[in-house]
Amino acid sequence: MSFRGHLWTVAPLVHHRLRGPRFLEARPWETALEDPQVGRVRLSGWLREVPGSGEILVLVHGLGGGTESHYLGGGVAAAEAAGISSLRVNLRGSDRRGEDFYHAGLTADLHAALASEELRRYERIYVLGYSLGGHVTLRLGTEAGDPRLAAMAAICAPLDLAISQREIDSLRRWPYRRYLLKGLLGIYVPVAARHPVPLPVEQARRIRTIREWDDRIVAPRHGFAGAADYYARASVAPRLPGLRVPALLLASEWDPMVPAHTVRAALGALPSPAPRLEVRWVPVGGHDSFPRALEVDRRAVEWLRTRS
């Protein structure tokens, strides 16, 4: 992994925060679903409709992020250039309204988004997920669901949650771990103000590893025996041979958060071939951010539209 991978990961985020969010104009979107534990869960997002388009790209953010995450802008712009509509979806809780919080294998939110009233007019749906959102996207592709879902793509997505957890919890990745935990806490605090939660907020603030977060917060809320059980049951890697729609995985050789060796290890351990999965390696860039000349988002959207 190159130092430039860190630079390509951090610099776009800093730039985005200094200048403020800049997305193409969109209107608020909302739908809801019923969860067996917490009841009604509202989902929010931003919908940009292209008149006359029968296609829509649904964009899914990464861990601790939301619809204002800077990397989603490239997907929205790519959809616009292709003449198709786009929807940026907040996974549950990511709008900081305290509805609930998601996990890496929870696809119910995406199923609900695809089934929402405002997406009914679209004939073809594509899903593009970034980082952990890419993992959730790939999980969606292994499940029965909306027949309009034509293809999906994941950028810088982890495939094996246990391998990725060990890497992000390593000493040298502490800045990224701290960043992720801050985002997760930002989702958790509003939830704790509205619902019973597995751990008091003050104790949650003292968590210092992703594994502890998953073990003490994610697992008890979502019915896993612990972090290890969560990783084993939620990881998409063993399910990739069963993808029901074409899927593209774009991985970065320089990615400092989902390192290339963790992706290769997961792919190398697949129980059988995954004929619907295409893997492409980007030789430069960082986590979810790449040199503009590579046009990674545009190429992903082009790939999606050429698949049936």
For residue 127, the SS3 value is strand
What pLDDT is stored for residue 2 in this prediction?
A: 60
Phi/psi region, residue 157 (left: phi>0; alpha: psi -120 to 50; beta: rest), is beta
Asked if residue 253 lies in contact with residue 282, where contact means CB atoms within 8 angstroms, the answer is yes
Percentage helix, strand, coil, to 5, in the chain? 45, 20, 40
Nearest to 248 by CA among 175, 185, 297: 297
pTM over 0.85: yes
For residue 281, the SS3 value is strand
Residue whose pair of structure tokens reads 């605090």 in the numeric block: 189
Asked if residue 87 lies in contact with residue 133, where contact means CB atoms within 8 angstroms, the answer is no
Nearest to 279 by CA among 96, 154, 187, 111: 154
- 7: pLDDT confidence band, cut at 50, 70 and 90? low
What pLDDT is stored for residue 307 in this prediction?
A: 87
Residue 294 has pLDDT above 70, yes or no: yes
CA angle at residue 183 from 220 to 197, to 5 degrees? 30
Please give the CATH topology (third level) of the domain spanning 3-305: Rossmann fold (3.40.50)
Asked if residue 99 lies in contact with residue 71, where contact means CB atoms within 8 angstroms, the answer is no
Residue range 26-57, pLDDT digits in tens: 999 999 999 999 999 999 999 999 999 999 99
Using CA atoms, how far apart are residues 212 and 207, in angstroms rounded to an integer?
A: 6
Residue range 137-181, pLDDT digits in tens: 999 999 999 999 999 999 999 999 999 999 999 999 999 999 999
Span 245-256, mean pLDDT?
96
Per domain, the residue ranges of the chain are: 3-305
Residue range 209-239, pLDDT digits in tens: 999 999 999 999 999 999 999 999 999 999 9
Residue range 85-130, pLDDT digits in tens: 999 999 999 999 999 999 999 999 999 999 999 999 999 999 999 9
What pLDDT is stored for residue 292 in this prediction?
A: 86
Nearest to 149 by CA among 132, 179, 126, 175: 126
Q: What are the tokens at 8?
A: 């390509």
For residue 80, the SS3 value is helix
- Paired sense of beta strands 27-35 and 39-48, if any: antiparallel
Q: What are the tokens at 163?
A: 């391998």
Taking the CA atoms of 190, 193, 195 and 197 in sequence, report the sign of the dihedral they define. positive
Residue range 260-291, pLDDT digits in tens: 999 999 999 999 999 999 999 999 988 888 88
What pLDDT is stored for residue 13 in this prediction?
A: 65
Residue 241 sits at φ, ψ, to 5 deg, of -60, -20
Nearest to 297 by CA among 81, 2, 9, 10: 81
Nearest to 238 by CA among 172, 150, 161, 293: 161
